[in-house]
Amino acid sequence: MRLRAAALVVALVGALVGIGQPLAASATVATAPTPVVVGNKLVDSRTNTTWVPHGANWPSFEYACSEGWAYSQADDTAAAAAAMQSWGINTVRVPLNQNCWLGSDASDYGTATGYRAAVAAWVGILNAHGIVVILDLHWSAPTGQHALGQWPMADSNSIPFWTSVATAYAGNPSIIFDAFNEPYSIWNNATNSYSFQLTWNCWQNGGCQAPLVTTNQVPVTGAGAGTFTVVGMSQLVTAIRAGGAAQPIMLGGLNYSNDLSGWLAHKPSDSQLVVSWHNYPGQDSCGYTAACWNAATSSVATSVPIITGEFGETDGGSTSMTSYMIWADSKGIGYLPWAWWNADDVSGDAALYALFQGTDFAPHAPTGTNYKAHLTTLLPRSYHTLPAPMTAPPLQTSLAPQSAAMTPTTPAEVRPISAPQLQQLILSSQRDFRISTG
């Protein structure tokens, strides 16, 4: 997300009780889908059926820690996960902060161990409610810099970050990795030229020099000015695989993950890659129409799956969101709007993006009401309630989620089945996906 969420007024996260080490805490039985890439689709490996993500972005792990007030916002609870599930949400994207995960900045809140444990607890709750989690490198910074915003591209510290994250979640088949949120170039209006232009070659292989930037994503001038060496997507994919993780990896293109023109020609060599596409009104010069979306995705759509990692609307309406979702549904493209915020706790554009309002997670008009209503149209006409979600012993017993209904995603993905058949599927999943401790 390009807009910094400084307007948030959120209570400090409650104390986490009974949390063990992050690696063991991430182990989970497969109550959530287990997506893998097959051709240009994602498939739930439990059932070998096409799986399309319909979800939400859950911000705060990227900024709360670096702003010094908590690890995340306070609604990382079973009640929040159950509310998402009741909407028909099957995927949640969790933006992370590189420095907070690595513990490389003494000014950040808490410790790296505490941060990782908080992430693991939330991942466990979401998975137990049938929700796939996308872990996204959202805020980063080169050595000596504070990770208080988005940088043009990954840096050398992104390699140990991803190897560490991948090691922690290698045993969790209900995870997807999003290698770098929004790669971008920097345009200088005064000179009518680029201050920094990220090329597809540097996107792929790294090695170019990018400027140190402010929280407004402009080059630092005067004291503190400098550059850093960009790390490319190939290196990030290698770092993830070095951690033993085989799950799908999302890669965003240029122009804040909106430009996919060179994605296929420059993608790293890996069989589990997914296009991460961000699509906001006004993000490119073409327009917000089906013709433009067809043109933007045509170069990749027949070869790899596409997930709309971010989209949204801040004009006070919901027409653009609706138009895009209808088009994406027709193409089998999943989407996750920005953002699962409480409208009571945010202001400005953040409030316009906010999907819910109040402690009962009621949909916030117009964005949330529109989104929930649209997801309802995708639900099968007949579905069953699953038993209480399971958690992996022995850790996080104090955070065990409450019983919640599993809501299937789309008619194309889930066919109505009988209660005995459903129970058999659950038992089969328990046998086939064993808990991993590393």
Q: What is the number of alpha carbons within 13 Å of residue 19 lying toward its C-beta?
A: 22
Q: Which of 16-20, 157-161, 356-360 has the lowest mean pLDDT?
A: 16-20
Q: How many domains does the chain have?
A: 1
Confidence of residue 196 (pLDDT cuts 50, 70, 90): very high
* pLDDT tens, residue by residue, 325-378: 999 999 999 999 999 999 999 999 999 999 999 999 999 999 999 999 999 999
Would you state the pLDDT for residue 418?
44
* pLDDT tens, residue by residue, 58-74: 999 999 999 999 999 99
The residues near 101 (Cβ < 8 Å, ≥ 6 apart) are: 112, 115, 116, 119, 161, 164, 165
Would you state the pLDDT for residue 320?
95
> Terminus-to-terminus CA distance in the chain, angstroms?
32
Cα 211–chain centre separation: 26
Q: Is the pLDDT of residue 402 over 50?
A: no
Would you state the pLDDT for residue 123?
98
Cα 119–chain centre separation: 13
Would you state the pLDDT for residue 410?
39
In a domain, 140, yes or no: yes
From the number of C-beta atoms within 10 Å of its C-beta (0-12, 13-18, 19+), residue 230 rates as buried
Q: If residue 138 lies in a helix (H) or strand (E), which one and from where to where?
A: strand 132-139
Compute the average pLDDT of residues 108-137: 98
From the number of C-beta atoms within 10 Å of its C-beta (0-12, 13-18, 19+), residue 418 rates as exposed
Q: Which of 24-38, 147-161, 216-230 has the lowest mean pLDDT?
A: 24-38
Alpha helices in 129-271 (DSSP H): 158-169, 200-205, 233-242, 254-257, 263-266
Task: Please give, one letter per residue, the 3-state secondary structure of 310-374.
Answer: EECCCCCCCHHHHHHHHHHHHHCCEECCCCCCEHHHCCCHHHHHCCEECCCCEECCCHHHHHHHH
Q: Is the pLDDT of residue 294 over 90?
A: yes
Q: Report the predicted TM-score, pTM, of the whole model to 2 decimal places.
A: 0.82
Give the chain's mean pLDDT: 85
In a domain, 331, yes or no: yes
Q: Which of 55-64, 124-133, 414-423 has the lowest mean pLDDT?
A: 414-423
* pLDDT tens, residue by residue, 113-122: 999 999 999 9
In a domain, 363, yes or no: yes
Would you state the pLDDT for residue 340?
98
Compute the average pLDDT of residues 259-274: 98
In a domain, 52, yes or no: yes
The residues near 10 (Cβ < 8 Å, ≥ 6 apart) are: 60, 64, 70, 73, 74, 342, 345
Would you state the pLDDT for residue 21?
31
Q: Is the pLDDT of residue 422 over 70?
A: no
* pLDDT tens, residue by residue, 203-244: 999 999 999 999 999 999 999 999 999 999 999 999 999 999
Q: Is the pLDDT of residue 425 over 60?
A: no
Spatial contact of 368 and 347, defined as CB atoms under 8 Å apart: no
Q: Is the pLDDT of residue 146 over 90?
A: yes
> For the domain that residue 165 is a member of, what is the CATH number?
3.20.20.80
Would you state the pLDDT for residue 285?
84
In a domain, 285, yes or no: yes
Q: Which two tokens stand for residue 137?
A: 């490198």
In a domain, 319, yes or no: yes
Confidence of residue 1 (pLDDT cuts 50, 70, 90): low
Range of the domain at 122: 22-187+211-432
The residues near 298 (Cβ < 8 Å, ≥ 6 apart) are: none
Instruction: Give the span between the Cα atoms of 386 and 419, in whole angstroms.
Output: 9
Closest by CA position to 216, among listed 284, 148, 315: 148
10 Å Cβ neighbour count for 291?
A: 9
In a domain, 350, yes or no: yes
Q: Is the pLDDT of residue 421 over 50?
A: no
In a domain, 163, yes or no: yes
